[in-house]
A = this chain, B = another copy of it.
Amino acid sequence: MRGDPAFEDIKLPLASGSRRIHGSVARDLGIAILAGRYAPGDVLPGEIEFSEQLKVSRTAYREAVRILSAKGLVESRPRTGTRVTQRSRWNLLDPDILAWAFEAEPSESFIRDLFELRMIVEPAAAALAAERRSGLDISRMGHALEEMGRYGLSTEIGRAADQAFHNTILEAARNGPLMALSSSIAAAVTWTTIFKQRRSALPRDPMPDHRILYEAIVAGDVEAARTAMTELVRLALADTELSLKA
């Protein structure tokens, strides 16, 4: 894939994120857990031993474990040590966890589950947005759409515009928790998009569907917005499935 002009400029969204040690260790361990290298119930090596293995201080290692623990991946107690918790207790919608999951080659069923959730949430969000959008929302969406059309999804700018478009819809829905949820998923979707692009050229022009959605929200047509977004997610799923089989 080297030199393929379509990917050269991809900046991994929140990839290695913090260059701080505790952040990197948390990320590495998080990926390892999500990849199944440490299974639920497994006990990690003791603090001293493990931090020496990782060539970091106990301080940094412990802070990393606190991060993982805050996301529900592990649980530490004196005497028992630090063990990986049951999958049902993981905060699967945490943005970091989603990012780590996609770094760890997510299972097909996990991707399917995410799309199922998108299919539930995003059309409803679009419907709310159609009801509540302000003039500012509309102008932002319009601008994003224009940039998206001009640069296409194969460029960094185009993808940023796409995200801005969807983000504005969420903001227009005026619901904090809903926004937190969808933007977590959106981050994951970005990853699937990158996946798609890795395997095959983008198989479809996404602009017409985006425009239909935009018009519906501008018109304040709740049901049209809902169906338009449904269609958008459906197509995204179809594309993703295609590229997963490729």
Contacts and interface: CB of A to CB of B under 8 A. Distances in A.
Contacts of A177: 92-93, 110, 113-114, 117
A116 B175 contact: yes
A177 B185 CA distance: 10
Given A120-B124, A121-B120, A113 B175 contact: yes
A16 interface: no
A116 B176 contact: no
Given A91-B95, A121-B121, A181-B117, A110 B176 contact: yes
Interface in A70-122: 70-72, 87-88, 90-96, 110, 113-114, 116-117, 120-121
A60 to B, nearest CB: 10
Contacts of A63: 62-63, 66
Interface string A164-198: 00000000000111111101100000000000000
Interface residues of A, number: 38
A134 interface: no
Given A22-B66, A70-B71, A71-B70, A93 B175 contact: no
Contact of A66 (B66, B87, B92, B116): B66
Nearest to A116: B175
The 8 closest A-B pairs by CB, nearest first: A70-B70, A92-B180, A120-B124, A67-B70, A66-B66, A113-B175, A92-B177, A63-B66
Given A63-B66, A67-B69, 6 more contacts: A22-B66, A87-B176, A93-B180, A116-B128, A116-B178, A121-B121
Interface of A: 22, 26, 59, 62-63, 66-67, 69-72, 87-88, 90-96, 110, 113-114, 116-117, 120-121, 124, 128, 175-181, 183-184
